[in-house]
Structure 1
Amino acid sequence: MTEPFSVPVVVRGYETDTQGHLNQAVYLQYAEHARWSFLQQGGIRQADLLERNIGPVALEVTVRYRRELRAGDEVSVTCAFLWGEGKTFRIEQTIRTADGTVAAEVSGVGGLMDLERRKLVPDPRDRFRELAADPAVFGL
């Protein structure tokens, strides 16, 4: 089994709350950063999506906070797409510290929206295959 895609992030002081912990909303920003980085790894740029008048949308996101993070902590944020049938797909992500401790798990449901019609495209897998320079990155 291959390792999932991951991107490194260092927790910045201004991202912490008054208790010195990484602010809860920033976990979502890290997950978003990893998703866009993952798309780029497969050869899909934001401009490519906009040229085709489609965009990724988050339909549901759950964050499970496991361990606190503090300024200066180095983490890796993974990203994997799980394809099913229909208009949506799952996105599974893990934020781990340098020693492998799971700090958070982010699970979501996403889709690709036709930006003119404001509707989800029927089969996002087909669109990812068309757009990706390397569809295998996405398990396609």
Structure 2
Amino acid sequence: MAAEVTYRGTVYPWQCDHVGHMNVMWYVGKFDEANWNCFAHLGLTPAYFRQSGRGKAAVQQSISYKRELLAGDIVEVRSRLLEIGTKSIRLLHEMRNAETGETAATCEITAVHLDRALRKSTAFTADIRETVASHLAVTEAAIA
């Protein structure tokens, strides 16, 4: 999938630390909200998770901080699918200052698809895998 907007919000004063910029805990929170919007776009909706007894769990997350975000800044996160495995999915998020267009941070995350009752990873069903993979094919075609 091409990078799509998966989060828009504002940096509030209470999200800033003693140095005056947005604290790292809020980057994680905003990237998490982007995860849920991105997953829903891929067909992994809240209804799907509720009805199927499935869930997702982050197993690896890497954040690179590029520029400060200050109270009042408008934040936009764009996300794209990097990889779909049998039981896992990998995404890349880019957080930007919506006014300046500058990249504030990037986040690469790997999440596993899990059976909530067994508390174990489980394979995606063929239909879900096909839907998600179709978004990956769009990304690969755009790069080629």
Shift in Å, 1:42? 4.3
How far does the alpha carbon of each residue in 1:1-22 deviate from its partner, in whole angstroms, 9 at most, with x for none? x741112111111111122110
Q: Do 2:78 and 2:93's aligned partners in 1 also have CA atoms closer than 8 Å?
A: yes
Extract unaligned runs of 5+ from structure 1: none
CA gap of 1:85–1:33, structure 2 versus 1, over 3 A, is closer
CA distance in 2: counterparts of 1:53 and 1:101, whole angstroms = 40
Partners of 1:88 and 1:34 lie apart in 2 by 17
Query: How much is the aligned-residue C-alpha RMSD, in angstroms?
Result: 2.4
Corresponding residue for residue 63 of structure 1:
63
Distance 1:24 1:90 in 2: 21
Q: Which amino acid aligns with 2:113?
A: L
* Comparing 8-17 and 75-84, the one that deviates more: 75-84
* 1:25-46 Cα deviation digits (max 9, x unpaired): 1101111111112233345432
Structure 1 CA distance for aligned equivalents of residues 12 and 135 of structure 2: 30
- Give the AA of the match of 1:21: H
2:25 and 2:17 map into 1 onto residues whose CA distance is 10
Runs of 4+ in 1 over 4 A off after TM superposition: none
* In the alignment, structure 1 residue 105 sits paired with structure 2 residue 102: no
Alpha-carbon spacing, 1:71–1:128, altered in 2? closer, same or farther (3 Å): farther
> Which residue identity is paired with 2:114?
M
Structure 2 residue identity aligned to 1:139 = L
Match of 2:53 in 1: 53
Which residue does the alignment assign to 1:72?
72
Would the aligned equivalents of 1:66 and 1:103 in 2 still touch at CA under 8 Å? yes
Percent of matched pairs sharing the same residue:
26
Q: Which has the higher helix share?
A: 2
Cα pair 2:15 2:22 within 8 Å, conserved = yes
Which letter does structure 1 place at the counterpart of 2:119?
Answer: R
Residue 94 of structure 2 corresponds to residue 94 of structure 1: yes
Distance, in Å, in 2 between the alignment partners of 1:138 and 1:68 is 31
Residue correspondence of structure 1 range 26-37 to structure 2 within 5 A: 26-37=26-37
1:107-122 pair list within 5 angstroms: 107-122=108-123
Aligned length: 135
Going from structure 1 to structure 2, the CA distance change for 1:85 and 1:136 (only over 3 Å counts) comes to closer
Distance 1:127 1:26 in 2: 34
2:84/2:129 contact within 8 Å kept: no
Tell me the secondary structure at the aligned position of residue 22 of structure 1. Answer: coil
Please, which moves more after superposition, 97-106 or 82-91? 82-91
Partner of 2:33, secondary structure, is helix
